[in-house]
Amino acid sequence: MIKPKVIVLLGKAAVHSVLHEDKSLASMRGQRFDYQGIPTVVTYHPAYLLRNLPEKAKAWEDLLLARRILRQSATTAISPVLPF
């Protein structure tokens, strides 16, 4: 019933349960995955970021990737048809 425009998976447990991947989060970051046709982005869990503050910059990059994907889907969904 609910069809999100983008999914952001926070942490290893979410990645494992949704994507069924056992790879490290570091190797999966910065990529676009698909879950049932929905674009999906992987990043670190907030609790991990509290313990490892330098990793926050990487998580921010992941969120920017999710925003780019969201914007791309919005522009393709609203492409105007111009009569000629």
Query: Could you list the mean pLDDT of each consecutive 10-residue stretch along the chain, which spans 84 residues?
Result: 92 96 94 95 97 96 96 74 56
**pLDDT reported for residue 80:** 58
E-assigned strand segments in the chain:
7-10, 33-35, 38-43
Cβ neighbours, 10 Å, residue 69: 18
What's the pLDDT at 81? 56
Q: Is 41 exposed, middle or buried (0-12, 13-18, 19+ CB in 10 A)?
A: buried
For the chain, the structural domain boundaries read 7-71
